Amino acid sequence: MTRILLIRHGQSTANVEKIFAGNFNSPLSELGMLQSERTAEYIAENYKVDKIYSSDLERALSVGKAIGDKLHIDVTAQKNLREISAGLWEGCSFEELYERFPSYRDVWLNDIGNATCDGGESVAQLQKRFVSAVTDIAEANYGKTVVITTHATSIRVMQCFCEKKTLDEMKNVPWVSNASVTELEYTGGEFSIVRVGYDAHLGECVSRLPSNV
């Protein structure tokens, strides 16, 4: 069995400014850096981690490095662990997306599993990419505990996959909070969920996506 700890990045400046980041490189906010440190402490106190992987985007890599520094483990960055490539949506405010892009307003907000970012990836493409990357990591580290620092939509598509929900049902899968821990087990080619979006260790520092995302 491989234990996978999926960790969403801490609050980013894009989160604060209420813009859609996608593959846009947005650093962590001051709160995001504090969240990262608290999550690093929580992981160090509760798990024996063997390997750390991360999206190569700064906001996720910062969390991976905070955990790596605490545990004295190097971080392996992988492009396939990135957030959805959002094309024309990247850098837009949520209000601007709602006004300019009907596909955001009508599909992303109401039927996210069937959404495609204008000029970017579809959620189905993200799920295929991300699940494949996590599966490869689980297979390569069988019997170990692995941290993967990544992004909100990536974790959401993985949860949908693990729960054997169709993409039509993904709209009923909630977002996880910043710097939260989602724990999976991989056994015999199958993923199972131990818990989703654990954030009690963050105390008063919990932050979440707004409702219009």
Model confidence band, residue 193 (pLDDT cutoffs 50, 70, 90) = very high
Residue 190, strand partner residues: 187
Mean local confidence (pLDDT), 200-206: 96
- Beta sheet of 2-8, edge-to-edge order: 75-78, 51-55, 145-150, 2-8, 181-187, 190-198
pLDDT digits (tens, 9 = 90+) for 6-36: 999 999 999 999 999 999 999 999 999 999 9
Q: Which two tokens stand for residue 61?
A: 């890599």
Task: Provide the percentage of residues in the chain whose pLDDT is more than 70.
Answer: 100
Q: Are strands 2-8 and 75-78 parallel, antiparallel or unpaired?
A: unpaired
Q: Is 135 exposed, middle or buried (0-12, 13-18, 19+ CB in 10 A)?
A: middle
Q: What is the pLDDT of residue 178?
A: 98
> How far is residue 112's CA from residue 21's CA, in Å, rounded to a whole number?
16
Tell me, what's the pLDDT at 194?
Answer: 98
Q: Is the pLDDT of residue 213 over 90?
A: no
User: What is the SS3 assignment for the chain?
Assistant: CEEEEEEECCCEHHHHHCECCCCCCCCECHHHHHHHHHHHHHHHHHCCCCEEEEECCHHHHHHHHHHHHHHCCCEEEEHHHCCCCCHHHCCCEHHHHHHHCHHHHHHHCCCHHHCECCCCCEHHHHHHHHHHHHHHHHHHCCCCEEEEEECHHHHHHHHHHHCCCCHHHHHHCCCCCCCCEEEEEEECCEEEEEEEEECHHHHHHCCCCCCCC
pLDDT of residue 58 exceeding 80, the answer is: yes
Return the pLDDT at 75.
98
Band (pLDDT 50/70/90 cuts) for residue 187 is very high
**pLDDT given at position 167:** 97
pLDDT at 209: 86
pLDDT score recorded for residue 71: 97
**If you average pLDDT over every residue of the chain, what do you get?**
96
Q: Where are the domains of the chain?
A: 7-205
pLDDT of residue 210: 78
CA distance 212 to 108: 10
| Average pLDDT over every residue of 95-117 | 96
For range 189-208, the mean pLDDT? 96
Buried b (16+ CB within 10 A) or exposed e, 74-102: ebbbeeebbbbbbebbbebebeebbeebe
Determine the Cα–Cα distance for residues 133 and 131; give it in Å rounded to an integer.
5
Q: How much is the pLDDT for 211?
A: 72
| Record: fold of 7-205 | Rossmann fold (3.40.50)
- Mean pLDDT, rounded, for 108-112: 97
pLDDT in tens, 71-83: 999 999 999 999 9
The structure tokens listed for 14 are 């894009």
Burial class (CB in 10 A: 0-12, 13-18, 19+), 111: middle
Looking at residue 80, its pLDDT comes to 98
